[in-house]
A and B are shown apart, each in its own frame.
Chain A
Amino acid sequence: MVLPAGLAYLLMLLLPTLAAVALAFTDYELGLWPPAWVGLGNFEEMAADRGFRSSVRNTLIYVGIVTPAAVAGGLALALLVEAGGRGRTLFRAVFFLPVVSLTVAMASAWQYLLHPTIGPLNAALRGLGLGTPFWLTSSDWVLLTLAAIGVWESIGFNMVLFMAGLTAIPRELHAAAEVDGARSAWDRFRLVTWPLLGPTTLFVVTISMIRSLRVFDTVAVLTQGGPNKASEVLLYTMYTEGFTFLRLGYSAAVTLVFLLVVLAVMWIQMRVLDRRVHYG
């Protein structure tokens, strides 16, 4: 029983991962065999490459916008939908729709909505007498626009997670808070809801961070990292290096950096925060 499972794990997961790690220390390009060992050469190149640095910066900005907005927005929606009572199922389905829809397909809808001249968004802004930015083609706006789409994509998922967390809070605690003198909704939120959502929030933050770190398809479909690398993100860099320029060694090194960032996020979750949200 153990042997087939172990074999599958070895063949499907461990070996490919180790191969990718090994490739990161070579100058392997597709078709050029054998690759030469370059040690930390790829990483030195990365550190010196302004394109890579801006890709890291863009990724961090994107994560820095999408994670808090999607977490706070998901929590706010969950609280509103829970408080509303009626139409709960409908709202849950509506907000969850972006999660199950295909990003690539939705991206073309966004492209139309955000089109500078024929898009309805700018038409509305024009009607209000406001400016009409080039949402996806101006380097000032493109990252914000992608972040907004990113929030739209994951807010429903977070809402569903928070709703599950809310139903797990004993109703007696809210009653106790009322009797104890928590008059305002804010008092009750601070005293009961927020602390008891701790484990859920931690999970949602981690998931949102990792999901937004992995942003790729909207960039690939809508901007291809442009204009002028203003929306270049880590995974898109990895993709272009590996599959456009066929520099698989360098691409593997980018992947390794990405992997380390994801592992660091998970480590922080497990080690530091986990202890503060579970009340033994």
Chain B
Amino acid sequence: MTGIAVTDLRKRFGATDALRGVSLDVAAGEFVALLGPSGCGKTTLMRIVAGIESADHGSVAIDGRDVTRLRPASRDVAMVFQSYALYPHLTAGQNIAVPLAMRHLSAWQRLPVLSRLLPRARAATRRIEDEVARTAEPLGLAALLDRRPGQLSGGQRQRVALARAVVRHPKAFLMDEPLSNLDSALRVQTRREIVEIHRRVGAATLYVTHDQTEALTMADRVAVMMAGEILQVASPERIYADPVDLRVAAFIGSPRINTLPAEADGHGLVRVAGRVVGLRLDDAVAGPLTLAVRPEDLALAERAGDAPLDTVAEHLEFLGDGLLLHARHAAPDGSPLILRAAPCARGVLPGPGARLRLCMPAGRVLVFRPDGKRVAARPLAAAHVPA
């Protein structure tokens, strides 16, 4: 059963394409992070799923029901806004109660004075208050329910917004960068709380973020979005280790993945600056390529068979838990390369200006076509490396 199913959504704002045919499925109970740089259309996609914005083309289904033409109120979704969007004139408790009151009380029963006079409304109001207390308790909001949002800290407001979203057990749960207004310590803590809430509530969750750490740590699957398109949807591990597009490889990981220009010869052998690097393409089409390799996969060359890259060391950064060596490929217009090493390697690594031979384990090198698409490549057995 799919929680959220988005099919071929397109949206234009004036001359710019915000979404160019986006499809995405979030299974019931699944947590999917929609990751991308700002302006890539991820918030637009989320607002279309919520029904706040309408798409030019495509459909949205929630819990197996087509909701493309329904108003947000009829879609059974809840949303946490980046700005929290709490009602400033209502207390925290009243804020959390709004979705319940809107569903279970009529407009008459919601009038402040009348609701106290009608026995039916009084009973319903009491049920709502119980539900609010039950939701607020595990979020540590029990003592804050009588305060207005203006009297709460950023983290508390954020939890009120979460409580308001989960209070009526929606089928789909949308979060738009909910952590971006918190300081970094609070962010780490809230990250875990959101995952716990998700586990408890069990609704299909779509979580929009530009922060790869959030996406990789929290989500079951990550959808990487760029320029109005979803480039890849996969588990965090695969997104990191097995990107299908150079833009995904470059966006995920810090420091950025190293890239090197290369070319394939007529036999499918991959060459960097004319030298074979121990990789063969599955289909032998000659042409330019880009190689990408993570900083932690680069190493100092020790054996001759490693097909080393000649580089010049530029400078060394100490990070505490590691070292970053910035070097440059010793070729005309040589690419910058970063190597990540354990802190104990400090004595081994050369100073600026020194010549340095780095090797890339062929099995960890990702190969991309000029259009950014990944191509399958296999390491050559060491014995078959031609001279």
Contact = CB atoms under 8 A, between A and B. Distances in A.
B73 interface: yes
Majority DSSP secondary structure for residues of A touching B: helix
A221 to B, nearest CB: 44
B89 A183 contact: no
Nearest to B88: A279
B151 interface: yes
Contacts of B148: 279-280
Nearest to A178: B72
Interface in A170-198: 170, 172-173, 175-184, 186-187, 190-192, 195-196, 198
A5 B47 CA distance: 56
Interface residues of A, number: 23
Nearest to A182: B102
B345 interface: no
B164 interface: yes
A58 to B, nearest CB: 34
Given A170-B83, A280-B150, A179 B50 contact: yes
Interface in B29-74: 47, 50-52, 71-74
Contacts of A184: 107
A176 B160 CA distance: 13
B98 A180 contact: yes
A195 B72 CA distance: 22
Contacts, number: 74
Nearest to B104: A181
A176 B81 contact: yes
B77 A179 contact: yes
Interface string A72-93: 0000000000000000000000
The listed residue with most A CB atoms (<10 A of its CB), out of B98, B151, B164, is B98
B252 interface: no
B85 A187 contact: no
B89 A175 contact: no
Given A182-B102, A183-B73, A279-B88, A172 B83 contact: yes
A172 B89 contact: no
A179 B52 contact: yes
B319 to A, nearest CB: 38
Contacts of B356: none
B52 A175 contact: yes
Given A178-B72, A195-B87, A280 B151 contact: yes
Interface in B79-105: 79, 81-83, 85-90, 98-99, 102-103
Contact of A180 (B51, B99, B110): B99
B323 interface: no
A180 B99 CA distance: 5
Given A172-B83, A280-B151, A180 B102 contact: yes
Contacts of A170: 83, 85
Contacts of B103: 181
A167 to B, nearest CB: 16
Nearest to A195: B89
The listed residue with most B CB atoms (<10 A of its CB), out of A170, A180, A195, A198, is A180
A190 B148 CA distance: 18
B334 to A, nearest CB: 48
Contact of B51 (A176, A178, A190, A280): A178
A279 B85 contact: no
Contact of A198 (B51, B82, B89, B164): B89
B73 A182 contact: yes
A280 B99 CA distance: 23
Contacts of B78: 179
Nearest to B91: A279
Interface in B258-306: none
Contact of A192 (B71, B87, B164): B87
Contacts of B83: 170, 172
A172 B176 CA distance: 11
Nearest to A181: B102
A199 B51 CA distance: 30
Contact of B98 (A191, A196, A198): A191
Nearest to B170: A179
Given A179-B52, A196-B88, A172 B81 contact: yes
Contacts of A175: 47, 50, 52, 72, 79, 81, 85
Nearest to A172: B85
A178 B52 contact: yes
Given A176-B79, A180-B99, A279-B150, A196 B85 contact: no
The listed residue with most B CB atoms (<10 A of its CB), out of A175, A179, A190, is A179
A180 B81 CA distance: 12
Interface of A: 170, 172-173, 175-184, 186-187, 190-192, 195-196, 198, 279-280
Given A179-B52, A191-B87, A192-B87, 10 more contacts: A175-B85, A176-B79, A176-B81, A178-B73, A179-B72, A179-B79, A182-B73, A182-B102, A187-B107, A191-B98
